Amino acid sequence: MPHVIVKLWPGPTERQKQDLAKAIVEDLVDTLQTSEDSVSVAIEEIKAQDWMEKVYWPDIGEKAAQLYKIPGYQPF
């Protein structure tokens, strides 16, 4: 605990994805006061033309009540 899945369009370099995963792990460890050994991060590249079907509707549209950050909205 926890496991984070980042879904994004293809394009970031391997280094950028590694840096992103590292930043997520560091923030989770700091915020949740958990061990780095308990954290896992996956990155899935989804083509832009598949985004609505594979990400937006199943992960955003159908789970809006679970979102802490809504696309286009800045609650913080």
Active site residues: 2
> Are 9 and 51 contacting, i.e. CB atoms less than 8 angstroms apart?
yes
Q: Are 10 and 45 in contact (CB under 8 A)?
A: yes
Q: Give backbone dihedrals phi and psi of 59, rounded to 5 degrees, phi first.
A: -105, -20
33: left (phi over 0), alpha (psi -120 to 50) or beta: left
